[in-house]
Amino acid sequence: MKLTVLERLRLFEIVPREGDFATLKTVRTLREAISISEAEAKEFAFKATPNESGTQYAWNNKGMEEREVEIGGPAVAIVAEALKKMNTDKKLTDDFFSLYEKFVGEG
């Protein structure tokens, strides 16, 4: 699936932090797949700066380009379920709009 750096960071926010063993194993694999590699960090001039409200991330224009990220079917289902729940609960924000389109569809 093609994702930008921002979309990859947003995925970290919505994947479950708890569940059964199979879910956690799938989430662990997903987190590894969407992580910014050392080579990408250099290419994107990626920086994470801690501040009072959390961490601020910055990158160059190359990070705005979509890159192919290997995400397996079970992980896609977990992300889609989380996004659908956000939508049902009326908690979906514009920050997740492109991810919703990619993982769930037009709805």
Residue type, 29: T
Give the residue carrying structure tokens 């190359």: 62
Query: Is pLDDT at 42 greater than 60 in this prediction?
Result: yes
Q: What is the pLDDT of residues 56-79, one digit of tens each?
A: 999 999 999 999 999 999 999 999
Between the alpha carbon of residue 52 and those of residues 13, 14, 56, 57, 95, the distances in Å are 18, 21, 10, 13, 21
What percent of the chain shows pLDDT beyond 90? Answer: 96
At 56 the three-state DSSP class reads strand
Domain ranges of the chain: 2-103
